[in-house]
Every structure is written in C-alpha cells, then in structure tokens.
C-alpha cells in the first residue's frame, strides 16, 4: 500500500430498540462512541481515512448506495454496522431500519445479502465489516434455531449478536469496549493486528452476556493499528491471586467469606443428589450477584463463574458450560499468564464441554472461539490440533455449507454420510476419540471441579 492511498470508514447505526409499535428507535450512542476512535486505527498504512456516517437510516437503497461507494475505494475499507438484526419470512437476515417490522422488513430493511454482494469483489486483506447487532425475541429465536453462518459467508465479519435486552439505550457493550481498547492499544501484540488477535481483549472488557454470539474472521484479512505495541501488561500482585478449589472446599475469599458458604453447600448438595436444575439456578444467581457487586474483573467473580460452569456441565448443559468456562479462561488471561494453571483448567474444560455438544449447529457456532482460545492456551497432548480437526469435521458435516460449496462438495458430503451409515468408515465419534487429547477426552469426568491453590 502506498501513502497516496486513502482508507474509508463507513459508520451505520440503525435502531436497536422500538420507540412505538410502528417505529424503531435509534439513539446514536454507538455512532458517537465509534467517532471517538482515531480513524487511523482502521487503516494504519493509509495516508488518510474518509469517514461517512449514516444515522437513523430509513431507505435501504440509500444505505446500499453508500456501501457501494465505499466498496469502490481502492484502499482499506471498514464498514461498521449497528442495529436490530431481523429475519424476513424466508429466514434471510436484514438490518432493521426505522420503519421495519417483522412483516415489512423484507421490503423496508437492508438485506444482509446486499452488503455482502457489494463488498464481495474487494480484496479480503483490505476489507472488514464490524457488526454489533441487537435482537428482539422473535429474531433471537430464529437465530438460535439456525446459525450466524450467512452473516460471515464470503465476508470477513467481526463483532457480536447480542441476546434480547430490556433496554437498548446507551452504547452497547461491544462497541463501548472497542472504542476504549483501540485508541489505547493492546499490550504484547504487534503494531498492526488482525481482529482475532485482539478479540479477547475487547470482549473481556465488554463483559458480554453469556449467550452472546461472537463473530470472528477465521482467515487473515485487514489489519488494524495498535498504538501501543509491546506495552507492558498491568502487574498483579501474587497476594491478589485467588483461585477456586474443589467445590466442597471452595473459598471465594470476599470480605465476608461466610456470605457464600451457604450457596456453595446448596450447589454441591443439589448436584450430588441429581437435582441439577436447583444447582444451576443457585450457581447462576451467585455468578450474577458477584459480577454485579464486585465487577467481572474481580477474582471472586471468576471463581463464581467457574462454579456456574461446573454445575452446568454436571447438568448436561454442555453448550452453556462451554461458554462459561471459555469466559472464565478469557477473564483470567487479562491478569495471569496464559500457561497459569487457573487459565489452563477452564480452557481444558471448555474444550471438553464443546466436544460433548450434540447439536451440530451449536457446536459449529462456538467452535471458532474454542479454537481461538486454544491458540492462546494450546495445552498438552496436541489439544490445539485436535480442536482444529474437530471444527473441520463439524463444518464438513454441515449440509447447508456443503450445498453452498457446489455439486462436488455436496456429492462428497452425501458419500460420507452413506459410508458412515453403512459402517464402512469410522463414525465421527470414533474419529473424535482417536484425535482428542487425553486432557479433554469425551468424558464428563474430564470436566473438573474448580481447583484451589490454598
């Protein structure tokens, strides 16, 4: 890239909540936060960056014209999209605009396919879409029944899809964290970074809801500017490190340790009695209470979330356990080395829970985040390689993805299914056992209770 080439930053914020039965409401808060980020962060090698803002959009064709204009830029292009993700009656995703309703979004919303087609011909190395979506109950149910694959197919997309919230006022967590992290820079990473390199730093600062769908580009593409490469990480005094032990002996060590003893006893007793619903409910309440009163960066909150993850795993709720353990590992990596025992433990457990998820769509959705976590915390026994192979198998077993790839891929998929059903090849479960590391074999017993250093 030469210095004569300019970058282009297109900021689109639609409504994230409904002001009335007929009209969506946009606050402009996300757009305001993004304008606080120096444009050079999005195009560090360009001579300058042109910034275009679209707030409270109404006409999808007008929005599309701005996207097409950005796509014609020869330099790096970043398109930021914030608003309500909606689906029409065919299941196609749309960005809901001001007058959109579930019935009308097919006509007055912005089809996601339009954005993809407008940017598809651009070089991936100079294109990035940052998405911070809100959802309502109807679109969230549709999303949970399917996958976010259409959003990321053929396009590098980075961001989140948030579960329904009571209020959409103010800056959303991912955008707020992004606008705080990018201007300050990220320690221990190069001067130019791929979004996957800093995704953990952003989401940990955001404190996302457990069910949030995370979208991370899976191949190298446009790189962002890091204003503080090599900066020293914040120090943590050894006396401040608190870890969780076996559930029967866990001490969260707040100012009043007795305040949590009853909760831990109820969780352990209920789980041992097979009353997993009660165990999970008590663990969730403890997790939420400590996160609210102490903050998500407090070691007691880490320990409480690990207890919540353990209770979920014992209840057979492997998707929830996987996401919770993943969250514990990410939070601890903000203050502890990646190879610390209290980071490695929840990483192994997240990997183990992922292998136990029976729904292929759920497993494919969280798979990239587990592989990304394993790249930071490889673990023993080739766990990173095993995670990558498992994700590849999951994607190979996705009929919709194979159908989109064309006749040859679809024929190969049908052939694999036929051979598996007739027993001529190893079943996926057999293959999985042969490639999984010992520490995360497909066995619920490998999802350990939190351990202690006391």
Neighbouring-strand partners of residue 52: 10
Question: Residue 43 has which token pair?
Answer: 């195009």
pTM of the predicted model as reported, rounded to 2 decimal places: 0.53
| One CATH from 1.25.40.10, 1.25.60.10, 3.40.228.10, 3.20.20.140 for 238-392+439-446 | 1.25.40.10
> In this structure, are residues 277 and 283 in contact, taking their beta carbons and an 8 Å threshold?
no
User: Which phi and psi (to 5°) does residue 67 adopt?
Assistant: -65, -45
The highest-level CATH class for domain 7-225 is alpha beta
Q: How many helices (H) and strands (E) does the chain have?
A: 18, 12
Query: What pLDDT, on a 0 to 100 scale, did the predictor assign at position 185?
Result: 77
Q: How far apart are CA 267 and CA 275, in angstroms?
A: 9
Query: Looking up tokens 């820079």, which residue turns up?
Result: 185
Q: How far apart are CA 133 and CA 148, in angstroms?
A: 12
Task: Provide block-wise average pLDDT over 10 residues at a time, the chain (454 residues).
Answer: 73 70 59 85 86 85 93 93 90 88 89 93 92 89 71 87 75 89 77 85 84 81 73 28 29 45 84 88 88 78 88 90 90 83 89 89 85 84 86 76 58 60 39 30 45 40
The residue count of the chain comes to 454
pLDDT per residue over 248-300, tens digit each?
Answer: 233 333 334 456 777 888 888 888 888 888 999 999 888 888 877 777 778 88
Q: Is 80 helix (H, G, I), strand (E, B) or coil?
A: strand
Beta strand pairing call for 127-134 and 77-87: parallel
Nearest to 280 by CA among 329, 317, 328, 323: 317
> In this structure, are residues 211 and 148 in contact, taking their beta carbons and an 8 Å threshold?
no
Query: Looking up tokens 């490889």, which residue turns up?
Result: 378
User: Where are the domains positioned within the chain?
Assistant: 7-225, 238-392+439-446
Exposed / middle / buried, residue 387 (Cβ in 10 Å: 0-12, 13-18, 19+): buried
Question: Residue 227 has which token pair?
Answer: 């204003």
Query: What pLDDT, on a 0 to 100 scale, did the predictor assign at position 219?
Result: 63
């Amino acid at each position: 890239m030469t210095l004569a080439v300019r970058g282009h930053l297109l900021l689109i914020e639609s409504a994230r909540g409904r002001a009335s039965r007929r009209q969506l409401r946009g606050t402009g808060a996300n757009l305001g936060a993004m304008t606080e980020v120096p444009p050079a962060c999005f195009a560090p090698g360009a001579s300058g960056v042109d910034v275009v803002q679209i707030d409270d959009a109404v006409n999808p064709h007008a929005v599309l014209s701005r996207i097409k204009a950005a796509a014609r830029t020869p330099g790096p292009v970043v398109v930021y999209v914030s608003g309500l993700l909606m689906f029409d009656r065919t299941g196609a995703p749309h960005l809901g605009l001001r007058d959109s309703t579930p019935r009308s979004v097919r006509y007055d919303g912005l089809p996601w396919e339009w954005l993809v087609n407008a940017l598809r011909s651009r070089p991936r190395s100079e294109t990035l879409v940052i998405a911070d979506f809100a959802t309502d109950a109807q679109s969230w149910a549709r999303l949970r029944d399917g996958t976010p694959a259409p959003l990321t197919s053929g396009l590098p997309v980075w961001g989140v899809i948030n579960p329904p919230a009571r209020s959409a006022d103010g800056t959303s967590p991912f955008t707020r964290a992004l606008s705080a992290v990018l201007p300050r820079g990220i320690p221990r990473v190069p001067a130019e970074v791929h979004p996957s390199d800093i995704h953990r730093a952003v989401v940990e600062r955001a404190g996302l809801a457990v069910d949030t769908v995370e979208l991370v580009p899976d191949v190298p593409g446009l790189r962002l500017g890091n204003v503080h490469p090599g900066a020293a990480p914040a120090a943590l005094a050894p006396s401040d490190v608190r870890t969780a032990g076996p559930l029967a002996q866990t001490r969260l060590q707040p100012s009043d340790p007795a305040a949590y003893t009853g909760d831990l006893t109820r969780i352990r007793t209920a789980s041992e009695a097979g009353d997993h619903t009660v165990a999970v409910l008590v663990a969730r309440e403890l997790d939420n209470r400590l996160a609210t009163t102490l903050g998500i960066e407090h070691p007691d909150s880490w320990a409480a979330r690990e207890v919540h993850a353990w209770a979920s795993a014992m209840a057979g709720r492997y998707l929830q356990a996987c996401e919770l353990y993943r969250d514990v590992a990410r939070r601890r990596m903000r203050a502890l080395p990646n190879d610390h025992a209290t980071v490695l433990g929840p990483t192994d457990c997240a990997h183990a829970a992922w292998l136990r998820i029976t729904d292929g769509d759920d497993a494919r959705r969280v798979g990239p985040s587990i592989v990304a976590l394993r790249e930071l915390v490889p673990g023993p026994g080739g766990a990173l390689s095993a995670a990558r192979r498992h994700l590849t198998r999951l994607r190979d077993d996705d009929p919709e993805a194979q159908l989109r790839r064309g006749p040859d891929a679809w024929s190969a998929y049908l052939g694999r299914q036929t051979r598996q059903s007739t027993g001529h090849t190893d079943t996926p479960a057999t293959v999985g056992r042969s490639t999984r590391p010992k520490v995360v074999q497909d066995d619920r017993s490998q999802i350990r209770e939190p351990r202690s250093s006391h």
